[in-house]
Amino acid sequence: MAHQMELVPSNVGQAAESEMKIIAVEKANKPINTRFSGKVDYDMVLVVFRDSFLKKWDKMTPSPDTGLQGFDELATIGAGSFGRVKLVREKSTGNYYAAKLVLKEMIVKTKQVPHIFNEKRVLLSIDFPYVVMMDFCRKDFDHLIFGLPFINGGELFTYHRKVRKFS
């Protein structure tokens, strides 16, 4: 389930359209409104996001040992020295994810254990507009598996190199 932030008028009926207050709610497929009336609203938004992040940061639990049970593995969409990224589809919902499979052996061999734990904590804790967050984390005997939203279109770096400048 995706957690999103919705902006709603602070005083319904009395507030101008530009006066917005952020309320953390669970919404499915609802666009995020990011209009702010000024510095006060922006500061308030940052406080809400920070509090949400810290609450999740303090609530870390071990990943289940279920591997990719419940998912269909469709294709390998990337590979690197620590593992690969696969396109998977959740059988129960039909949702697509990019499953990052990181080899445990490589993490230990290269002494990256603290870094991978921090990556997991940050990706599970973050819930900001326009920033990718982790939807699930699992493990099996050989891999740590980070489930991220599948965003079609290739790597941002490749696109940036092609266009040279974002407009």
In the annotated binding site for ATP, the residues are 109
The residue type found at 50 is R
In the three-class reduction of DSSP (H, G, I as helix; E, B as strand; rest coil), residue 150 is classed as coil
Q: Which residues are annotated as a binding site?
A: 109
List Cα–Cα distances, 101 to 61, 135, 145, 150, in angstroms: 19, 14, 5, 14
